[in-house]
Structure 1
């Protein structure tokens, strides 16, 4: 099995490089990668991003510039995951299709969120911690819950009391 070296642009910081798994991916200049992160082949991370510890970016994920990924965020790329084909043989690369995910510039994804295959997250969007994103998220939307629903907009920064109310609604 051939291991594909990652492409790391200038100024990429990898905390504890021996505790990450990066192969065949591209990480943009100035980005920071936390411990226990896996970024698979054909995944792209833009410039000045932060990928926090224990996050998983699978093949087909595109993270645009300035994106924050919280701890333990999981991206998926298969609509119908299965270990075997219909005839019972173990699936190979040609037995399934990657459904790409795109995360727009300056979006923020809270810890332990799960982003399902084929989803686009808009520019400046905010995904609440623990959310399960099953469909596209518009630019500047705030989403939370399981499944994730729109609860606000990042265009309007709420006062502290409003922020507490939004957090309570997300629970």
Structure 2
């Protein structure tokens, strides 16, 4: 078995039982307990990833992103943090938050400054340009809400009361 190769720079904090695979770069970020970070993931300084998350291969997460507990991010998802990036000079960071239990499909781009709601589902290949509400299903370029899904059955081992979701 060959040794694992990854970079942990600037004191990244990694929670208990988190799994970090080959070719991952972590720059001064926080990774929660029981979170799995697959190969070829790049996470910049100041990023916070909660407990029990799964980040699949080839994901880029820049400074200013917060990912809450129990979030799934499929392969090739790209988060951005500046609407007008340039190679040199001033830039304006816009923070992004992904709420607990959200799922983001493969190949999705998350534009800066958006909030993806609790238990939201983003379809593969979407471009998220605006906030997505809790429990929403959003797809397309740009991503639009096409429906709603029921809340998760359990949260932290406790049953969540069922509520009717308006469509």
TM-score category, normalised to shorter length: 0.7 to 0.9
With normalisation by structure 1, the TM-score equals: 0.81
For the pair 1:71 / 2:66, whether they are aligned, the reply is no
CA distance in 1, matches of 2:11, 2:91: 24
- 2:16 maps to which residue? 10
Query: Which aligned segments of 4 or more residues in structure 1 are displaced greater than 3 angstroms?
Result: none
CA 1:148–1:5 in 2, change beyond 3 Å: closer, same or farther? same
Identify the structure with the greater helix proportion: 1
Alpha-carbon distance, 1:156 to partner: 8.1
SS class of match (2:147)? strand
Per-residue CA distance 1:100-130 (angstroms, 9 max, x = gap): 0000000000001000000000000000000
Alpha-carbon distance, 1:37 to partner: 0.2
With normalisation by structure 2, the TM-score equals: 0.83
Choose the corresponding residue for 1:151, options 131, 146, 158: 146
CA 1:11–1:126 in 2, change beyond 3 Å: closer, same or farther? same
Structure 2: segments with no counterpart, 5+ residues: 1-8, 153-167
* Matched ranges for 1:5-154 at <5 A: 5-16=11-22, 19-83=23-87, 90-91=88-89, 95-154=90-149
Question: How many residues end up aligned between the 2 structures?
Answer: 144
Identify the structure with the greater strand proportion: 2
CA distance in 2, matches of 1:156, 1:25: 29
Root-mean-square deviation (CA, aligned residues, Å) is 1.3
Structure 1: segments with no counterpart, 5+ residues: 84-89, 158-171
CA distance in 1, matches of 2:92, 2:12: 22
